[in-house]
Amino acid sequence: MLNLNLIDRALASPLARILSWPQSPESYLEFLAPEVGGRSIKATVKAVRQETSRAVTLVLEPNHRWNGHIAGQYVSLSVSINGRRLSRCFTISGEENGCPTVTIQSHDGGIVSSWANESVWTGDVVELSPAAGDFVLPATLPSRFLFIAGGSGITPVRALTDALVAQAYTGRVDILYYVPAKADAIFLSHLQALAASCANVQLHLVTTREHEAGNLKGHFKADHLDAIGADLAHSAAYVCGPAGLIEAVEKHWNGAGQSERLTLERFRPVQVPVAADAKGQPVLFTDSGISTTAPGRTLLDAAEGAGLTPNAGCRQGICRTCTCRKLSGQVRDIRTGELSGTGEEDIAICVSVPVTPVSIEL
């Protein structure tokens, strides 16, 4: 069996650097064996499984640099599509024979989600980030869990539920799952099988457009919690899905004084309004010698508007693909409203808006 750690050590040797000059040893290995080469986590697509008409599960076999994950975490998945490297974040929905899986639902204008649903093939090689995220089970398990999901927000919920079942958890688990119609429910058969085999797991499917006898209907409301016998004061609650669902759930938990029992996983960050003057702040991209202004726009938007093509992935400040060196000036994080320092530092330009004149290495 090939000792990949030994290969890594050989690539780092001075002789390898000399022989491969002017390129790096990793670049040659990546060309010859893309699933191994480079210094990143590469994964081969071992299987593609259709979940619904708009969602597929990819079974990924990572190389030796993969360090595993905790149920509920996500990865940044990077692919090359039409010559462009794109990165998006997806929850690890499960594990099959030691291989992590990601489940991707297509949406309008989604380049990576469309690729996954229409163009991916077994044997394709993708790049993964290490697993990250804190949408995970607590160290001490409470007596009840309430999972609320909308659409593809079911992916971490499935992972968490599977983890509880694997631990032989005996407390009550309620899954309140919102979909437009029953046919849109990802993992429906899997979740139904869990509910049938585990008396403590209950699946409550809610259709927002389709009216089927016996199902709860419409968007989230307090009546749905009453209908399933939810106990907010004694349950660890988790919600993942569209912004409207999360906002409604968060508002209800806040009103009930139980916000500390609610864990959120957002598809997109909450953006704090950023005040900007009419002219905007001047931005200098030092490597390109291009100057522009960014009235209320992120530095990524400003760069692209100026004709630059910076690396970018999730555009949510998660994958860090767009990280650039700020040389001077102050920016505000649109997710938190937090101000940066005025000196040199690395920033994610997709979530940074200048509040003073700024210089960026780009």
pLDDT (0 to 100) of residue 1: 37
The answer to whether residues 118 and 81 touch, using CB atoms and an 8 Å cutoff, is no
Instruction: Report, as an integer, the average pLDDT of 55-70.
Output: 94
Instruction: Report, as an integer, the average pLDDT of 17-43.
Output: 60
Listed as own residue / partner, the contacts of 272-280 with beta carbons closer than 8 Å and 24 or more positions apart are: 272/332, 272/333, 272/334, 272/335, 272/336, 272/337, 274/332, 274/334, 274/337, 274/353, 274/355, 276/353, 276/355, 280/354
Q: Which domains does the chain have, with CATH numbers?
A: 40-128 (2.40.30.10), 144-266 (3.40.50.80), 282-360 (3.10.20.30)
Most confident of 5-14, 30-39, 219-228: 219-228
Q: Which residues of 272-310 are buried (b: 16+ CB within 10 A; e: fewer)?
A: eebebeeebbebbbeeeeeebbbebbbbbebbeebebeb
Strand pairing report for 144-150 and 236-241: parallel
Q: With bands split at pLDDT 50, 70 and 90, how would you rate the model's confidence at 278?
A: very low
pLDDT (0 to 100) of residue 31: 52
Instruction: Report percent pLDDT > 90 for the chain.
Output: 63
Instruction: Report, as an integer, the average pLDDT of 257-271.
Output: 81
The answer to whether residues 191 and 203 touch, using CB atoms and an 8 Å cutoff, is yes
State yes or no: pLDDT of 106 exceeds 90: yes
Instruction: Report, as an integer, the average pLDDT of 6-12.
Output: 60
Instruction: Report, as an integer, the average pLDDT of 98-117.
Output: 92
Instruction: Report percent pLDDT > 70 for the chain.
Output: 85
Strand pairing report for 41-52 and 172-179: unpaired
Q: Which of 144-148, 169-173, 328-332 is predicted with the least confidence, judged by mean pLDDT? A: 328-332
Report cis status (omega within 30 of 0) of the bond before 354. Answer: no
Q: Tell me which amino acid residue 219 is.
A: H
Structure-model confidence comparison of residues 110 and 185, the more confident one: 185
Q: With bands split at pLDDT 50, 70 and 90, how would you rate the model's confidence at 80?
A: confident
State yes or no: pLDDT of 277 exceeds 50: no
Instruction: Report, as an integer, the average pLDDT of 218-227.
Output: 95
Strand pairing report for 282-285 and 290-293: antiparallel
Q: Which 8-state DSSP code applies to residue 177?
A: E
pLDDT (0 to 100) of residue 110: 87
For residue 89 the two structure tokens come to: 């974040």
d(CA 38, CA 255): 51
Torsion of CA 28, 11, 1, 41, to 10 degrees: -70
